[in-house]
Amino acid sequence: MHYVKKLLFTAVLTGVAHVAVKGQQKGQQPNVIIIYADDLGYGDISCNGAARVKTPHIDQLASEGIRFTNGHATAATCTPSRYSILTGEYAWRKKGTNILPGNAALIVPTDRTTLGKVFQRSGYRTACIGKWHLGLGTQGEPDWNGEIKPGPLETGFDYAFFFPATADRVPTVYVENHRVVALDPKDTIQVNYQHKIGNEPTGKENSELLKMHSTPGQGHNQTIVNGIGRIGWMTGGQRARWTDESLAGDFVNQAQHFIEEHRRQPFFLYLALSDIHVPRMPDTRFKGKSELGYRGDVIMQLDWSVGEIMKTLDYLGIAKNTIIVFSSDNGPVLDDGYLDGAVAQQNGHQPAGAMRGGKYSILEGGTRVPFIVRWPGTVKPGVSGALVSQVDLLASFAAMLRQPLPESDAPDSWNILSTLLGKSQQGRSSFVEQANTMALIKGDWKYIAPQRGPKLFEAVNIESGLDTIPQLYNLKNDLGEKNNMAAAHPDMVKEMSSMLETIRSSGRSR
């Protein structure tokens, strides 16, 4: 007994020492982890002012790094923002990059530099874990029961563990590399986005089976999986279906495993968490724990996930050699199709902070999101108001790794490495936002191109920011975009609209 105990004790001691010394080799290129939240608003984290929900781990990340107050996704929805972060190109340059159904073909080019390939070329091991939503296969539907490719492995990742689209879209299964995880070959998967297939209950016909109801008129009432109606119909793959309550834990486990396995070599991890996208169905540890309904609970869950990643780095002794970038793919929404308490229990919480608009909107709430960079010991903690975007990560990390970028690739990704690392307060001088129309930010000014459309997206209760007349705002004095100054500054409107046109027609802004 004594011997066993002693042996165990020694093993633990040497194990830890081993990890701490070996894990953090001097002069090694830093590991990079991008933690990409889904639909998290600027004001949803306490370091950006949220008072009704606490995010201690994200706050810690911010206090140990740089908290950017003018950091952007390129678009106000998921697919285009993710397209941009991985390709370094504005998504509006490429057709078919709006919100994809769950059976769409891959939209990321396989023959161009991607964020993952930048790291691969420098000898990093790369992984994509979490939500994909960039399509799979070449055309038509991918073969869910066979080899699912091309996908992440063909666009820069050595390893991938993900779900295909969104948590509210079928197929609700995990894919590891090219295969659905735990698929029973006798129970093949079929997916359809046009009409019902199979005879499984749907939210529309069997609402008595739902554990969370969809918002009337907002769809989400097709095949029921795990007591939740989804977008799209699916049949088969029973054993392979995920449990929503376990999504966060499953992705964190996979991430921890990847980090631990690659702790001795440089790695790049793109960790695209599903929180806080709908359906918001928190693990029991978080269910009912916030004052804001399930939406607040999954903010706590997201914060927990971030904390687990930070703890893993500490435990392995590689925190100082790991850059973490934390951000979100678009702004916030309360009711995105399910009655999960987000509206009923808003409790004064302002998910977009002081900004107008949110997900789907061209107003600042649409793309200005949490944006934190931490690199302990190298990046001096602070707050930065520099204009930075996720589209710049590709060129910036390429610069860090001294990778030349072909002229034709990543046409909108700017090298702002020194800004991201806090050595410069100067970010991009201009930036294009996308949500049903386009907007150009240049210095303190924002110009929104005229576009017909509803003023309010009623279903989600979010101001669209669309107008048939040009809009011009001074973001420095008017972050809430209340005072349209276009009529008073016709020259500025002319200058900015023609600059936007040049960026559009020239095919590049880098």
- 253-273: b or e for each residue (b if 16 or more CB lie within 10 Å)? ebbbebbeebbeebbbbbbbb
- DSSP calls for 418-456: HHHTTS-S---SEEEEESSSEEEEETTEEEE----S-SE
| String of contacts with ligand NG6 for each residue 363-392, x by CB under 6 A | ------------------------------
Q: Is 250 in the site for Ca ion (CB under 5 A)?
A: no
Select from 72-80, 96-104, 129-137, 214-222 the region that touches Ca ion (CB under 5 A): 72-80
Among 32, 50, 231, 299, indicate the residue that binds ligand NG6 (CB under 6 A). Answer: 231
Tokens for 320?
């100082």
**Closest to 395 measured CA to CA, from 425, 418, 366, 422:** 418
Q: Is 168 in the site for Ca ion (CB under 5 A)?
A: no
Among 19, 47, 99, 339, indicate the residue that binds ligand NG6 (CB under 6 A). Answer: 99
DSSP designation for 158: S
Q: Is 244 in the site for ligand NG6 (CB under 6 A)?
A: no
Residue owning tokens 């991985």: 86
Q: From its phi and psi, is residue 63 left (phi > 0), alpha (psi between -120 and 50) or beta? A: alpha
Q: Is 278 in the site for ligand NG6 (CB under 6 A)?
A: yes
Rg of the chain over CA atoms, in angstroms? 23
Closer to ligand NG6 by CB, 375 or 457: give it. 457
Closer to ligand NG6 by CB, 39 or 463: give it. 39
Select from 30-38, 127-135, 154-162, 221-229 the region that touches Ca ion (CB under 5 A): 30-38
Q: Is 77 in the site for ligand NG6 (CB under 6 A)?
A: yes
Q: Which pairs count as long-range contacts for 143-146, CB under 8 Å and 24+ apart, including other chains?
A: 144/171, 144/173, 144/180, 144/183, 144/188, 144/189, 144/190, 144/191, 144/237, 145/180, 145/183, 145/185, 145/188, 145/189
Helix, strand or coil, per DSSP, at residue 48: helix
Q: Which residue is nearest to ligand NG6 (CB)?
A: 78
d(CA 279, CA 276): 8
Partners of 127 in the beta sheet?
159, 269
Residue owning tokens 């633990």: 12
Q: Is 133 in the site for ligand NG6 (CB under 6 A)?
A: yes
Q: For residue 337, what are the CA distances in angstroms to 219, 224, 273, 351, 496?
A: 7, 14, 19, 17, 36
Helix, strand or coil, per DSSP, at residue 389: strand
Closer to ligand NG6 by CB, 259 or 278: give it. 278
Q: Is 222 in the site for Ca ion (CB under 5 A)?
A: no
Among 37, 78, 106, 363, indicate the residue that binds Ca ion (CB under 5 A). Answer: 78
Select from 203-211, 330-338, 406-414, 418-426 the region that touches Ca ion (CB under 5 A): 330-338
Select from 76-84, 124-132, 386-394, 469-477 the region that touches Ca ion (CB under 5 A): 76-84
* In the complex, least distance from residue 117 CB atom to ligand NG6, rounded to whole angstroms: 24
Among 330, 346, 361, 390, indicate the residue that binds Ca ion (CB under 5 A). Answer: 330
Q: Is 295 in the site for ligand NG6 (CB under 6 A)?
A: no
> Could you say which of ligand NG6, Ca ion, none residue 166 binds, taking C-beta under 5 to 8 angstroms by partner kind?
ligand NG6
Select from 329-337, 363-371, 450-458, 484-492 the region that touches ligand NG6 (CB under 6 A): 329-337
Q: Is 38 in the site for Ca ion (CB under 5 A)?
A: yes
Pair type for strands 125-131 and 159-163: parallel
**Closest to 131 measured CA to CA, from 158, 159, 106, 163:** 163
* Residues near ligand NG6 (CB under 6 A), total: 16
Site for ligand NG6, rule CB under 6 A:
38-39, 77-78, 99, 133, 166, 168, 218-219, 231, 277-278, 330, 336-337
Site for Ca ion, rule CB under 5 A:
38-39, 78, 329-330
